[in-house]
Amino acid sequence: MPAFNAAGTLERTCREAVATGVVDQIIVVDDASRDETIAVARGLSNVKVFPHDRNRGYGATQKTCYRLALEAAADIVVMIHPDYQYTPRLLSAMVSLVASGLYACVLGSRILGGQALRGGVPWWRYAANRALTLGENLLLDTKLSEFHTGYRGFSEHVQRLVEKSPSGSGLFMC
């Protein structure tokens, strides 16, 4: 979980994730939060906490999450934002899609359920997300509902490919 000022929602997200029965370990990478995110995370069972010494940004926090998951020998890695805009109750479904071997990558979407704005996404972020996703779909001839999702599941193989990419950017399309 790439976390930044998530003290208010982190415990609920972790509790519901563990309740699915498919989570072996939760990794929380705190990006120098100014609230009690680290203290909350350290108080939870089955959670490993890795604080950044300074705010490095969302992309760097994700990279740290994925690197730590690979170092822990994860077969399947699911990233979910701890802000509870995505429900952990879908973890079982996401994991089973990847574990089946049919899909190496599964992307969650706040948009498809029509709950994004009611779930706490600010209207300006929602509008920007929709505009960027439309542009990217047109440019790449795809039909994703949300390119900028905070809920992603990957096989270990996909993660290793990204890690070895020549650009080293960690950016990829599924």
CA distance 49 to 47: 6
pLDDT category, 166, cuts 50, 70, 90?
Answer: low
User: CATH homologous superfamily of domain 2-108+149-163?
Assistant: Spore Coat Polysaccharide Biosynthesis Protein SpsA; Chain A (3.90.550.10)
Q: Among all chains, which residue has been given the structure tokens 């997300």?
A: 129
Residue pLDDT, tens place only, 83-117: 888 889 999 999 999 999 999 999 998 888 777 88
pLDDT of residue 23: 93
Backbone angles phi, psi at 97, to 5 degrees: -65, -40
Question: Token pair of 42, please?
Answer: 């350290």
Instruction: Output the average pLDDT for the chain.
Output: 88
Q: Can you give the residue ranges of every domain in the chain?
A: 2-108+149-163
Q: What is the predicted pLDDT for the residue at 96?
A: 94
Overall size of the chain counted in residues: 174
**Which residue, 64, 74, 71, 75, is CA-closest to 28?**
64
Residue pair 94/78 in contact (Cβ under 8 Å)? The answer is yes
Q: What is the pTM of this model?
A: 0.84
Percent of the chain at pLDDT exceeding 70: 91
Rounded to an integer, the average pLDDT of 136-153 is: 91
Element (H, E) at 14: helix 7-19
Helix axes 58-71, 156-163, angle to 10 degrees: 120
